[in-house]
Amino acid sequence: DCLPYDRVSPNGSVASRRMTVLSRLARARSSTDRPRILCVTVNGLVQRVAPRKWMASESFSAAPGNSVNMNDLVRWLETNGFLRSSTVRETGEYAQRGGILDLYPPGLPQPIRLDFFGDTLESIRSFDPETQRTLVQLRGLDLVPMSEVTLTTENMRRFRQNYLTLFGAQTRGDNLYEAVSEGRRHVGMEHWLPLFYGELDTIFDYVGDAPLLLDPLAEDAAGERLAQIKDYYDSRKSQFDLDPARATYKPLKPDALYMAPQEWREKLDATPLARFTPFPLAPPTKGLVIDCGAIPGRSFAPERADEAQNVFEAAVAHVRKLEERGKRVIVAGWSDGSRERLST
């Protein structure tokens, strides 16, 4: 959810949802493990993500009765982007009190409480963060990192080496370099993600040979996004070139963080691909064409333009007419807010 070459890190809840999805995809035994539909934006599709092999191995699993060293678990949480807090309220926070560890992991609707007796994990319970009351007893725990960046000794060493190779040895006063060297998380460090891992993967690497379905504007949107990325990079690069020694932002090349236009086209050519279009295609058309028989929906523009009419009442009347004809109606909204108004 960041602009290209931004100074801030992704929103914590957005990052945690992304890590949960990537972890599930990475640990699937095969593309036929079970049926899946993955919905992804064009921005997400052209962006490089943490390596699949790393995502498949970087998890922490436990169940009641297992032997779990709490200090080892806390170190894992710290390394993988979780934040210590006095009271757990937001995703990615944890709190330790004696033999109790409260944790709000990504992918769960409520925080959980882990009760330890020595090195034995006695119970895992979800609880209400407002009342602290137990909600459900859980039979297992499967944690994924909160952040794409893990500050392990190896990753920190690799970052320093790659950073110096690209930008030179002038690191005095470089807040990013100094923070990572000291093992501290730095705001916006995700924009230098390749330096921690060497090479990144894309969503295409996670889904294998799964077929891809694109809406009518997806390819145009990808072109605009890649052009926007280049503009942001050119702006950062021009500032860096003015005085590299004092530059506060040292940008990576676009193809390190995002697909290049040529790579995007090659991925599409190598993937089983279906394109949706609202327009009839005149023969001869390359590939198989399936006409789904879709027709334009009713427009409520007249009701919107007429102050004497209520567009919601018109929508309700239209739905009832469709139901009288035996139609099954699905109502969708552009946003959560519009969905709330429509449901009311």
pLDDT attached to residue 29: 64
pLDDT attached to residue 295: 82
Mean pLDDT within 296-313: 91
> What gap in Å lies between CA 39 and CA 18, rounded to an integer?
12
User: Residue 78: pLDDT above 90?
Assistant: no
> What gap in Å lies between CA 181 and CA 197, rounded to an integer?
15
User: Residue 32: pLDDT above 70?
Assistant: no
Closest CA to 2 of 214, 237, 267, 257: 257
- Which of these ranges, 25-39, 68-82, 196-210, 314-328, has the smallest mean pLDDT? 25-39
**pTM for this prediction:** 0.77
CB 58 within 8 A of CB 145: yes
pLDDT attached to residue 31: 52
pLDDT attached to residue 172: 82
pLDDT attached to residue 310: 92
Mean pLDDT within 117-135: 86
Amino acid (1-letter code) at residue 310: N
Residue with tokens 């409480």: 113
Q: Where are the alpha helices (DSSP H) in the chain?
A: 12-26, 42-46, 52-57, 70-79, 153-167, 175-181, 194-197, 203-207, 218-242, 254-257, 261-269, 301-305, 311-324, 336-343
pLDDT attached to residue 75: 87
109: confidence class by pLDDT, cuts 50, 70, 90 = confident
Mean pLDDT within 155-169: 92
Query: What length does the chain have?
Result: 344
Amino acid (1-letter code) at residue 140: G
Mean pLDDT of the chain: 89
Share of the chain above pLDDT 90, in %: 47
Mean pLDDT within 45-49: 95
User: Where is pLDDT greater, at 319 or 140?
Assistant: 319
Cross-strand partners of 97: 100
